[in-house]
Amino acid sequence: MKFIFLPLLTLLLISNTFAQQPYYSDVNLNLTGQDLYFELQGKIDQASNSFTYGDVRDAVLISDEDTSNSNNVLLVYGYNDSDGNCTTDRSRDKGDFGGSTCQWNREHVFARSNANPPMGNVDNNTTGIGADPHNIRPSDQQMNNNKANKKFASGNGNAGNVGSGDWYPGDEWKGDVARMIMYMYTRYGDRCLPSLTGVGSLQGSTEMLQLFLQWNAEDPVTLFEDQRNDYFETLYGNRNPFIDNPYLATVIWGGIPAEDRWDLFSINEFNKASITIYPNPVTETLYYETSTTLDAYSIYDVFGKEIVTNQLLQNAEPIHLSALQKGIYLIEFTSEEKRIIKKIIIE
């Protein structure tokens, strides 16, 4: 066995040090699957135990401030401010809080009654799961009533009823919803199983719905979600990891690859050559496409130890990985004096 040369280790160190927020400095991001799930669960469970449902009302005035109008908050599921129907409003004056027509109130995206056991009734003194701000958004009061505790389901266009008693959150909000459900399931475990609040097929043998993985990939993170995450880290004490990097969901549950905002899983040292590898995560066989003639490849663990010796590439033959254990690895492709390095996840 040999160790990969210093420039790659330096590159990897820089990538892991500066790509993600300091919040994750004590999180082992080399883990995959359930191991990473439990690692993140332990991290995000370190949050305020005194934060109340009443605190949410004041907090969202800042966390959910309309990024285009500082006088307003954005309303989850909303989509039209100019159709004369306040139920569909996307943005509303911060002062219009209440339970009457054209006012906004607090919506539990993972419905309180869908949890197991249910979160129960909440009041302004409620703490714990019922007051977790990562699960609560401003919503038009009638839109909130329309959604009620309906399960999320596939759809398109604006928010509203789909199927027989299900709910589509709208094209703008489906990624937000997916990442909120992923947070709730990661923090509260079986009490907030995705299947309790959504309908569709499970992803393989995991408890995550394919629907939420699809929404997470199709609807990228916005500055608004980042704004919420930054504020709640300070106020509440934790972050939603799937906002910070949606690809963490891919690493844990598989499915459609989501955006990798930290660029931890794709390292290109040179721009003179490009290569696409798939699928990633991979179980046994890795394929690749490139416009450059490749000479060889090597596979290294995350500590830089070479575990597969250089092998000549012939006729773009697939790379068989069934002999390797689950985990994160580096694969280095070489061509003349160029090289391309990528991360692969074996599950």
Interval 9-51: pLDDT, tens: 444 443 443 356 899 999 998 888 999 999 999 999 999 999 9
pLDDT-derived band at 209 (thresholds 50, 70, 90) equals very high
Residue recorded with tokens 């160790």: 3
Residues 269 and 341 sit within 8 Å (Cβ to Cβ): yes
pLDDT-derived band at 66 (thresholds 50, 70, 90) equals very high
Tens digits of residue pLDDT in 101-119? 999 999 999 999 999 999 9
207-233: average pLDDT: 97
Structure tokens at 270: 């040179």
Rounded Cα distance, 15 and 345, in Å = 17
Average pLDDT, the chain: 89
Terminus-to-terminus CA distance in the chain, angstroms? 23
Domains of the chain plus CATH, in order, are 6-15+263-346 (2.60.40), 29-253 (no CATH)
Residue 302 has what pLDDT?
A: 66
More confident of the two residues 52 and 16: 52
Residue 333 has what pLDDT?
A: 84
Amino acid occupying residue 117: P
Tell me the pTM.
0.79
Tens digits of residue pLDDT in 287-319? 988 777 788 888 887 666 788 877 777 667 889
Residue 277 has what pLDDT?
A: 86
Tens digits of residue pLDDT in 145-185? 999 999 999 999 999 999 999 999 999 999 999 999 999 99
